[in-house]
Amino acid sequence: MGLLELTALELGKQIKEKKVSVKEAVEASFSRIRESEETVHAFITLEEEKALKNAEEVQARIDAGVLSGPLAGVPMAVKDNICTEGMKTTCGSRILYNFVPAYSAQAVTNLKKAGAVIVGKTNMDEFAMGSTTETSWFGPTANPWNKKHVPGGSSGGSCAAVASGEVFYALGSDTGGSIRQPSSFCGVTGIKPTYGTVSRYGLIAYGSSLDQIGPVARDTADCAAVLEILASHDKKDSTSVPRKDYNFTEALTGEAKGMKIGIPSDYLGEGLDDEIRTAVLQGAELLKFQGAEVEFFDLGMVEYAIPAYYVIASAEASSNLSRFDGVKYGYRTGEYEDLHEMYKKSRSEGFGTEVKRRIMLGSFVLSSGYYDAYYLKALRTKALIKQAFDRAFEKYDIILGPAAPSTAPAMGESLCDPLKMYLGDIYTVSVNLAGLPGISVPCKTDEKGLPIGLQMLADCFEEKKLFRAASAYEKARGRWELPISGCRPDKEGK
C-alpha cells in the first residue's frame, strides 16, 4: 500500500515508528498536489517551502520525544477562512485577496502544538456563503470523483483536497452544512462539533451564533483524533464551552449494541433522490446488524429551518462583514472622493454577488420596521426547532438521515437560482440552529459514480455517541476507497 493511501492515523503511526520521515510525508503530499491540482484546484495558497521547513522542525521534536501525539508530522490543509499567522488568508474573496494574519486561530495553534504540518489554504465559497465552492473569487474547485461536478461547499476545497489524496486531513468550517454537505459530495468524513467545542478565535466570522470549525478526514477514527486536538476551552472566545471529556477516540468501539436510532420520516419525503433514500435505509440495516434499534418518527419543523436559517445567518453576516471597508486590510478601490465613497466602492468591488445578496437581506431584516417581523420571528422559530430536537433526543441516541437531497450537481447548474440552491441545505441547517454535533460518513456511490453521505446527529455534547455509531456503521460497510490514483479508478474516466 502506498503512502498516499494511508489514513492520517496510519501515517502518524509510521512516522512515530520511523518507517516514514515527516519530510517524506510532506513530499508525497506535494507530489500528489502537483499531479491533481491542475484539474481539482482545491487550494488557494500552497506553501511548499514553509511546509518542508516545518517538517524538519517537527521531525526534530518527534526525535527528541517532545512530540508524541498520534498525528505529529502528518500533512494537512486549512480552510482559507481560518487565520494562519504569516500565511495568506483570503476567505475566497477579493476583499481579502492579500490579507496575511498577524496571529493564528486557536484551532491552528492547537494543531501546531500537536505537530501538524500545514501544506496550504483551501478554496471555499466566498466568506463560506454557498454550497458549491463556485462563488470563490479564485475560481471553482472540482469534485475529484468527477471533475465536471462541484465538490459541494463551502468547505469544498478542504473536502476535495482530502478526497484526492492531496492531504491526509483538513479543517473546514460549518455554518449551515459547510462541512457535512461537501464531505457527502466528496466521499469523505466530516464532523461539525457541538457549538462552543472548538474555539472560533481566528475564524473569520460569517454567522457567529452558528459557525463551528471541524475536521474533514478519510474516516471516523481520523476525525475523532483531529477533534481531540482542536477542541479546547478558550478564553478568547466567549462562547467557548469547557467540556469534561475530550477523549473522543475512546468511543470508537465499532459496535452499536443497544443504541436507539431514529430516522425522521419527514427527511425521506418529497425532494429526496430515490438512490439516497435507499442508501439511508441500507445504512439503517447495517446499524441494526451492529446491534442498534432503529425506528421512524416525525421530527417536525423541517420545512421552517431554511427560512429561519437564511434570516439569522444573513443578519449576522451583514453585521460581521461591516468590518471590511478598505481601511485596515484587503482591497481598496482605486479612485474615490471621500471616505464614504471609498467604503462603498471598496465593498462593492471587493464582495461577490452572493455575499452582497446576503448582506442586503441581512441589513433589511435587521432594519427598523422589519426587525420584529423577520429577525425576531426567525429567533422564535429557532427556539421551536431546538425544542423539536430536544423531544427527539429524549427517545433516541442518534438521528439518522441524508446529508443532502442529491449527490453533487454539475458545475454551473446551481448559481443561476439561489433559492433552489438554498433548498439543498434542508438536512443540514437545522443542526446549526440547534447547536448540535453532526457527522457525514460516506456510504456508497450513486449510478453516476458520485458519493452519497449518511448524516448522523446527536444531542449537544454527545459527540461520543456520534463516533460510536459512525464507527459501527463503518465497520459493517467495510473500507471506503478514495479516487486516489492507483487506489480506485476514476469511474467517470472510462
CB of 14 to other proteins, least distance (A): 37
From the candidates 178, 240, 318, 440, give the one annotated as an active-site residue. Answer: 178
Q: Which of 22, 355, 328 shows the shortest CA–CA distance to 206?
A: 355
- Please check whether residue 388 is in contact with residue 257, taking contact to mean a CB–CB distance below 8 angstroms: no
Of residues 21, 268, 273, 307, which one binds other proteins by CB under 8 A? 307
What are the two backbone dihedrals, phi and then psi, of residue 101, each rounded to the nearest 5 degrees?
-65, 150
Residue 371 binds to other proteins (criterion: CB under 8 A) = no
Q: Kindly state the number of chain residues that form the binding site for other proteins, as judged by CB under 8 A.
A: 68
Nearest approach, Cβ of residue 194 and other proteins (Å): 9
Beta strands across the sheet bearing 117-122: 43-46, 117-122, 75-79, 169-174, 212-217, 189-192, 438-445, 451-457, 398-402, 260-264, 293-297
- Does residue 365 contact residue 371 with C-beta atoms inside 8 Å? yes
Residues 287-306 that bind other proteins (CB under 8 A): 303-304, 306
Closer residue to other proteins, CB minimum distance, 10 or 459: 459
Q: Which position among 219, 228, 325, 462 is part of the footprint of other proteins (CB under 8 A)? A: 325
Identity of the amino acid at 138: F
Residues 161-200 that bind other proteins (CB under 8 A): 195-196
Q: Rounded to whole angstroms, how far apart are CA atoms 303 and 388? A: 12
**Stretch of 1-9, 129-137, 214-222, 321-329 contacting other proteins, by CB under 8 A:** 321-329
Residue span binding other proteins (CB under 8 A) among the ranges 130-138, 259-267, 274-282, 367-375: 367-375
| 342 lies in the binding site for other proteins (CB under 8 A) | yes
Residue 260 a catalytic site member = no
The reply to whether 410 sits near other proteins by the rule CB under 8 A is no
Q: Say whether residue 337 binds other proteins (CB under 8 A).
A: yes
Residue 244 C-beta: closest distance to other proteins, Å: 15
Contacts 24+ apart (CB under 8 A), 195-198: 195/239, 195/241, 195/432, 195/435, 195/460, 196/239, 196/240, 196/241, 196/435, 197/227, 197/231, 197/241, 197/243, 197/437, 197/461, 197/463, 198/107, 198/227, 198/230, 198/231, 198/232
206 binding other proteins? (CB under 8 A): no
Q: Please choose, from the candidates 433, 200, 169, 489, the residue with its C-alpha nearest in 3D space to the C-alpha of residue 307.
A: 433
Q: CB neighbours of 255 closer than 8 A, spacing ≥ 6?
A: 290, 291, 468, 472, 475
Q: One symbol per residue from 73 to 112: x for binding other proteins (CB under 8 A), - otherwise; what is it?
A: -------------------------xxx-xx---------
- Under rule CB under 8 A, residue 43 binds other proteins: no
- Interface with other proteins, residue 467, by CB under 8 A: no
Q: The C-alpha cell of 8 is what?
A: 492520517
Among 60, 66, 281, 360, binds other proteins (CB under 8 A): 360
Q: Residue 71 corresponds to which amino acid?
A: L
Residue 160 CA to residue 32 CA, distance in Å, equals 13
131 is catalytic: no
The residue annotated as part of the active site, out of 79, 147, 382, 464, is: 79
Question: Which stretch, 42-50, 283-291, 317-325, 462-470, contacts other proteins (CB under 8 A)?
Answer: 317-325
Which H/E stretch holds residue 262? strand 260-264
Q: Are 104 and 88 in contact (CB under 8 A)?
A: no
Minimum CB separation from other proteins for residue 314, in Å? Answer: 9
Of 29, 136, 154, 414, which one is the catalytic site residue?
154
Mark residues 234-273: x for contact with other proteins by CB under 8 A, - for none.
Answer: -x--xx-x--------------------------------
Return the C-alpha cell found at 107: 484551532
Give me the count of residues in the chain. 494
Are 156 and 141 a contacting pair, CB within 8 Å? Answer: yes
**How many beta carbons lie within 10 A of that of residue 354, not counting itself?**
18
Write out the residues near other proteins by the rule CB under 8 A. Answer: 98-100, 102-103, 195-196, 209, 235, 238-239, 241, 303-304, 306-308, 310-311, 318, 322, 325-332, 336-340, 342-345, 347-348, 351, 356-357, 359-364, 367, 370, 373-374, 376-384, 386, 418-419, 434-435, 460
Catalytic sites, residue numbers: 79, 154, 178
